[in-house]
Each structure stands twice: as C-alpha cells, then as structure tokens.
Amino acid sequence: MSHIALRCTRCGAGHPADMHTLACVECFAPLEVEYRNGGARQAIPLPVHETSVAAALGDGGTPCVEMPWVAGLLGLRSLFAKLEYMNPTGSFKDRGMAVMMAVASEHGVTDVVEDSSGNAGASVAAYATRAGMRAHVFVPKEAPRGKLRQIAAHGAEVHPIEGAREDVTAAAVAFQRDRGFVYASHNLSPYFQEGTKTFAYEIAEQFPDGLPDHIVLPVGNGSLYIGAWKGFRELVEAGRVPRMPRLHCVQARAFMPVVAAYEGIPWGPDDAGSTVAGGVAAAAPARLEQVLGVLKAAGGAAVAVDDADILRWRKLLATREGVFIEPTAAVAFAGLERLADSVIGSDETVLAPVTGFGLKDDTPV
C-alpha cells in the first residue's frame, strides 16, 4: 500500500495518488499530499520511494548568504538571501520538479506536458530528459529567449503561444487531452509543492540557533510559498523547531490577486497588465484560496510592487551585493523595502529567496 493519498484542499475529499488527478472530483479545488502508514515520520516526508532516483540532478542544498549592504539600507539587524538560482537549471523550480518527475517515473510516465513562463519549462525539460521521458512545453511567445533556448537544449518540444498566460495554459491542456499525455503542471500537481517544501527544511538546518523571524517571497501561483509553509508546519509538528517564521507575499502590481484579497479591494483577471517579472504574472492562480489560507496561518502580510522598483532592486543587488538575479527574484526585495517600513522590526532577522538567475532573463540591468 502506498504511504500517500491525495486530499482536497477545500472539502477534504480523498483521492488515489496518481499522475492524472489534479483537482477534486467533488468541488474541483486543487489537491495536496497526505501521508499515512508512517510516511510522515520520514526525515523529510516525500511522496516517493527509496528507489526513486531517476530524476535526481543535485537539486537543493543552496547557500544562504548575508546581505549587509541591503540590511543597512533598510535598517534591518540582518538579512539573508537563499541563492535558489544555484539549483541545476538556475531556479527554485528544480526542487518541485525533482519530486514530481520522480513520482512520474514511478508511475511509468513517458510523455509530460507543461506550461510555463520559462523557468518551470526549463526545469521539466531537464528532469524529463534525466528520467527518459519526452517533454512538451507550452510557453508565452514573448518569453525570454534565454529560457526558450534552455528548454530546447534539453530536447523538449517547445510550443510558443500568442496571448495571455492563461491562453498558454489552455493550449497545453488541450494538447494533453488530445494525446492522453500527463499534464505535469507545476501549478496544479500536489507533488510539486512537496518538493518545494525542502526549502524550509534546509533553512532549519542552516539556522540551528534560531529561524529567521520573517521570510519574504515573490508569489505568482504560490508553489514556493505553499511549499515553505508545508515544510515549516511539518517541522513544528515534529517538534524540530519551536515556531514558524512569518511568511510574507510580494506580487507585481500588474498581477496582484493575493494582495487584493488581503487588502479587501476589488481586482480580477481583467485588471491584469504587464510586468517585467514574468514568473509572478498569474492573474488567476489555481491555488489562490490555498495561498490566502497560508498567508493567514503564517501571520504574513501581502504587498504589491511596481516594475520600476523591481528593476531598481535588481540593479542594486547586482552592483552592491554581487548577486545577479532575474526580475522575478527582485520582486521579493522590492516588497521587503515596503515591509521594512511597517511590518518588520529593526531588531529582526529576514530571509528572502533568490528564485532565479539573472542570465535567464533578457531584461537589461
């Protein structure tokens, strides 16, 4: 018997753990992994078995580095950046992809379909190749050229799509249904966020004398945000850490469904604009309800930032701290500037993930 099942995040209905079920058959909400038969007593509970190594590429183990110049500028006691761009394909997406593709390998999957603004596409292409699968990646036609080249370099079939980000998803779903392939959606797969939760476990190891007080994350569809919360919740429940950091959400002002719900202001997909931060350009995230639940449970705040501030912080990190990041990663630091004025105390410790490498984006610095 498997050590996992899938459970609806809204109504709690149970579902068998397979690669095709991505939403509740009762209420259509996204699913999450539930551990049983002792699975939750693993060092890090994961939905794979010991023999599932087909997708491993050395993901995880990213360093935390202190950012003294930024801390001084914002009046913080200390600030750390976790360099997620040191994952194999240059972004945090490798954490989730390694686990999702390991599960797919266990299920004998041969073809996967994914839609992505770039980083997840590059990640699924690499991990599919590693696991002996074929990847079909649907991307916005205007996605950064470097990311498209990276996807193609791994042998994936690239499908550039005109229109909004939701049009890319619709095209991917239609293609998957027509051919009977597995839709390996990093936004919907319950296995993906089981991989991103390793982010929290590593932070617990890297800060043995006490976790950061605050973690500030860029949020589009929320896979790292939800994963971080799941990881810290498991650590608290296992008695391995005494408390959870406050987890804050930062969005681009052109795509702010979480911030709007948090502030109680009207906002809908028709209000979406354009942003240099393609990784958070999600007008209607599938896990919005779950992200909002995490925001409340983790005592977080949500703020929106403008493109001008995103680009300013990208340049500051490169020229002052020697860290070259893509615009999506700069979203967190632009948000941190706002949070430091209101939510975060000067005597507290803060951490922000650098979610993607600067060379992966065409935007000039």
DSSP code string of 180-205: T-EE--TTT-TTHHHHHTHHHHHHHH
The whole-number average pLDDT for the span 79-94 is 97
Is 144 a residue whose pLDDT tops 50? yes
**What topology does CATH give the domain 93-183?**
Rossmann fold (3.40.50)
CATH architecture of 64-91+191-360: 3-Layer(aba) Sandwich (3.40)
pLDDT reported for residue 41: 60
The label of the residue with tokens 């079909």 reads 136
Minimum mean pLDDT range among 43-52, 177-186, 226-235, 333-342: 43-52
> H helices within the chain, ranges in order?
68-74, 93-106, 119-130, 145-153, 165-179, 192-196, 198-206, 223-237, 257-263, 288-297, 307-320, 327-339
Query: Taking residues 28-41, what's their average pLDDT?
Result: 82
Least confident segment among 1-5, 44-48, 68-72, 300-304 = 1-5
**What would the mean pLDDT of 67-87 be, rounded to a whole number?**
97
Mean pLDDT to the nearest integer, 2-28: 94
What pLDDT is attached to residue 275? 96
Give the closest residue to 331 by CA, choosing from 247, 215, 214, 251.
251
The pLDDT > 70 percentage for the chain reads: 97
Give per-residue pLDDT as tens, 44-70: 999 987 645 556 899 999 999 999 999
Mean pLDDT, rounded, of the chain: 94
Question: pLDDT tens for residues 303-335?
Answer: 999 999 999 999 999 999 999 999 999 999 999
pLDDT at 294 over 70: yes
Confidence of residue 350 (pLDDT cuts 50, 70, 90): very high
Nearest to 147 by CA among 357, 342, 364: 357
Q: What is the mean pLDDT of residues 262-281?
A: 96
Maximal CA-CA distance, the chain: 56
Please list the helix, strand and coil fractions of the chain in percent, rounded to the nearest 5, in that order. Answer: 40, 20, 40
| pLDDT on residue 1 | 44
- Which strand ranges, in their side-by-side order, compose the sheet holding 64-66? 64-66, 78-82, 349-353, 214-218, 246-252, 302-305
Q: State the average pLDDT over residues 90-109.
A: 95
15, 7 Cβ separation under 8 angstroms: yes
pTM: 0.95
pLDDT at residue number 131: 92
For residue 130, the SS3 value is helix
Average pLDDT over residues 11-23: 94
Domain residue ranges in the chain: 64-91+191-360, 93-183
Q: Tell me whether the CATH fold assigned to 64-91+191-360 matches the one assigned to 93-183.
A: yes
User: Is 39's pLDDT higher than 60?
Assistant: no
Average pLDDT for residues 238-264, to the nearest whole number?
97
pLDDT band at 263 (very low <50, low <70, confident <90, very high): very high
